[in-house]
Amino acid sequence: MPQGERQDIQVLSAPQLLPSPALVTTPQLVTSPGPSTPPEILAPAGDMPSALAAFAAGADAVFLGLKLFSARMLAENFSSSDVSRLVHLAQKENRKVYVAMNTFMKPGELAKALRLIRRLVLEIQPHALIVQDPGFFPLAREAGFTGELHLSTLANVTHQKGLLAAQAAGAARVILPRELSLAEVAQMHEACPPGLSLELFVHGALCYCVSGRCWWSSYMGGKSGLRGRCVQPCRRVYTQKGKEGRFFSCLDLSLDSMVRGLLPLTNVRSWKIEGRRKGPHYVYHVVKAYQLLRDAGGEVEARKEAEELLRFALGRPGTRALFSIPAEGAGKGALREASPLAVLQGKRMQTSSGLLCGQMDQNAENQWAFRPKFALHVGDYLRVGYEDEPWHTMVSMKKAAPAGTPHVVRFERGRFPKPGTPVFLLDRKEPALMTALKTWQTKLEASKMNAPAGDEINNLYPPVFASKGKPAGGKTHIMLRSSLPQGKEGKAFLRPGAMQGLWITPRAVEQVSRTLFDRISWWLPPVIWPDEEAAMVRLLHDAQRKGARSFVCNAPWQAGFFGEPGPRFPRLTAGPFCNITNAAAVHTLAGMGFADVIISPELGREDALSLPGQSPLPLGIVLDGFWPMGISRHAPMPLDEREGFQSPKRESFWMRKYGQNTWIYPAWPLDLSPHAAALTRAGYSTFVSMQEHPPKAVGEVERTSPFNWELDVL
């Protein structure tokens, strides 16, 4: 089943060097968590210098990825020996290290994941693993991991009852979505059960789509964001009927002005900073800013100093996004007014990282040059233009350039910029920060490294999850409609040989005949926000009272709506939006009460055909229909929902609003129907057709897509 507009852009002043070498000192650290303990500052580390910069600034913990199973595979990431030494340093300094294994696993990767976790147990002992795939829960237990498991924002725990379900599955912490309001964060805080903690992003890049609800990059060529390979198609220029802009490109989240409202939420144990592809300069400045804000409780002088540090961090202009939505909820245009999108001034406004420092033009000698708005130093790293423009180039300053003095940039022949092309400062190496990094590098080199685990881990194999007595069953075809057919109110149209699927809405529950309720597959939306939970509870109660017995949950944690399995427990199916891709994940869902699973459509041919033979539950698959590129809580303005829009490569798309969410669709549907016989032989017993209808202005469907069927998703 398938908001927010005006955002004034902050004009930043010239960056300076690090305010003072004195700021590089290590602050007093928090001790073990307790009711009055302030939240930890959790910093990103895409490489070792960034991790050390985080510790130098006073971060309480860092999160990082290894060379496998990291949702930031384009970052440098870490070897196990690097992490072993870093964890030892962190323990000496009363800090923590969390390892992100937050991608989904393909069917053949369970043994590899198990061995990697076992290596972490023997060689590294990180304080926590960050995961989004439910399959990591049984593998972590099998590997003997005794640290905490933190459920990534990619896992999409978006409402209160989901917290209980996540904890029951094995999570010790839930990382909240970045699309909440402060009032909704407070609701999650109030609903948080004992023994579970919450983590919240307070700063860094925002995605247009909800985390875990974006298949844009994957659908366009197999580079899945859920595998850490996103190519950021949302940052590109799109057109619609003469309008052109980066309509889906967001500003950076910055909650520095909301610290006073966050501090009383004591179940929010961690303030997280996004940016594993950013350098030490960014990490140091942002960590230092939020440490000041936290420790001073938002006091005025600390806020001023923090604002200066954030101005120098070289990210995008900041936004509070939807966190500023009033407590009464997301109605009355609140989503529109709080939008983090930066589109009103067209495609040339800044939506990429970096601080604008000049514009390209030709000088009297026909050379391309720019006049820096502020002094540039040796080692400063610049970007000319945007990454999707043909003249885009990166520049490392070999000599200093005073403010206002023309600086010539060399371009490849035939790839010259347009006059006015912006130049951004991306990174710089302040002497004070470099001194601090050397100090921490010395500490790192003095740290121990645990002995290698040895070859015995190569003989580890995951448990066999497949059920010995899997029911054979028949083949079911679900025709999933976005709404009741027009003109047939009160009567669900049942196609012969197919089961009707309906997204559960107040209109559908009110108008469908009671005699049909137990013959319909009722689908919950992929995202349910905290301010929607009470209405969903009432809707599910009404549907069951009228005879509904079959529900499709489109996040595993929606099982929390149905209580503990028992005699009156309905039949629950895990829908395709749960992103289930392996037998270990199916095993976790079986323990949560699910009777069958519709797998993620991201898998390629070999993986999709192998999975039924490994699965402990019957499986289904989306066979055809319009699969969304992504789902967002932000409406892309000024685009018209009744019209299509086009990418730089002239690909067509359309969008539709359902409740608080905007769904983005390609103009060409998914179609695996030519492979239906092979899927049936492999063991699939449920096939879903998604019945969506593009706006008339989009025109006739000219082609279909097998999604990643012919690819091997990276």
Q: Are 633 and 213 in contact (CB under 8 A)?
A: no
In three state form, how does the secondary structure of 581-617 look?
CCHHHHHHHHHCCCCEEECCCCCCHHHHHHHHHCCCC
Asked, for residue 61, whether it belongs to a domain, the answer is: yes
Average pLDDT value for the chain? 88
Residues 372 and 264 placed together within one structural domain of the fold: no
Given a cut of 50, whether residue 129 has pLDDT beyond it is yes
We report the CATH number of the domain holding residue 149 as 3.20.20.70
Residues 328 and 361 placed together within one structural domain of the fold: no
Asked, for residue 659, whether it belongs to a domain, the answer is: yes
pLDDT tens digit sequence for 438-476: 999 999 999 988 888 777 888 899 999 987 545 545 689
Residues 619 and 568 placed together within one structural domain of the fold: yes
Per-residue tokens: 293: 């804000």
Strand order of the sheet with strand 422-427? 355-359, 422-427, 381-384, 393-396
Count of structural domains within the chain: 3
**Residues 343-348: contacts with CB under 8 Å, at least 24 apart:** 343/245, 343/246, 343/247, 343/249, 343/636, 343/637, 343/638, 344/5, 344/6, 344/7, 344/637, 344/638, 345/9, 346/244, 346/245, 347/237, 347/244, 347/245, 347/246, 348/420, 348/422
**For position 34, what pLDDT does the model report?**
46
Structural domain span for residue 360: 355-432
Per-residue tokens: 204: 């860094």
Asked, for residue 627, whether it belongs to a domain, the answer is: yes
Residues 186 and 52 placed together within one structural domain of the fold: yes
Residues 487 and 620 placed together within one structural domain of the fold: yes
In three state form, how does the secondary structure of 232-246 look?
CHHHCCEEECCEEEC
Asked, for residue 311, whether it belongs to a domain, the answer is: yes
Q: Choose one of 410, 432, 454: the last residue of a domain.
A: 432
Rounded to 5 degrees, φ, ψ at 515 are -70, -15
> In angstroms, rounded to a whole number, what is the distance separating the alpha carbons of residues 444 and 125?
17
Asked, for residue 238, whether it belongs to a domain, the answer is: no
Q: Choose one of 398, 432, 466: the last residue of a domain.
A: 432
In sequence order, the 6+-apart residues with CB closer than 8 A to the CB of 116 are 66, 68, 69, 101
Asked, for residue 464, whether it belongs to a domain, the answer is: no
Residues 584 and 534 placed together within one structural domain of the fold: yes
Residue of 643, 647, 646 whose CA lies nearest to 699: 643
pLDDT tens digit sequence for 539-552: 999 999 999 999 99
User: Buried (b) or exposed (e) across 602-625, using 16+ Cβ within 10 A?
Assistant: bbbbebbbbbbebbbbbbbbbbbe
pLDDT tens digit sequence for 74-94: 666 788 889 999 999 999 999
We report the CATH number of the domain holding residue 408 as 2.40.30
Residues 553 and 605 placed together within one structural domain of the fold: yes
DSSP 3-state of 356: strand
- Amino acid at residue number 471: P
pLDDT tens digit sequence for 319-339: 999 998 876 666 656 776 677
**For position 16, what pLDDT does the model report?**
35
Residues 542 and 630 placed together within one structural domain of the fold: yes
Q: Choose one of 379, 408, 432: the last residue of a domain.
A: 432
In angstroms, the Cα distances linking 112 to 68, 156, 712 are 9, 25, 17
We report the CATH number of the domain holding residue 670 as 3.20.20
Residues 334 and 370 placed together within one structural domain of the fold: no
Q: How many residues does the chain have?
A: 714
Asked, for residue 92, whether it belongs to a domain, the answer is: yes
Residues 629 and 602 placed together within one structural domain of the fold: yes
**What percentage of the chain exceeds 90 in pLDDT?**
69
Residues 360 and 329 placed together within one structural domain of the fold: no
**Average of pLDDT values for 364-386?**
91
What pTM was estimated for this model as a whole?
0.90
Given a cut of 80, whether residue 344 has pLDDT beyond it is no
Residues 320 and 361 placed together within one structural domain of the fold: no
- Amino acid at residue number 547: G
Asked, for residue 526, whether it belongs to a domain, the answer is: yes
**Residue whose token pair is 């929390």:** 560
- Amino acid at residue number 34: G
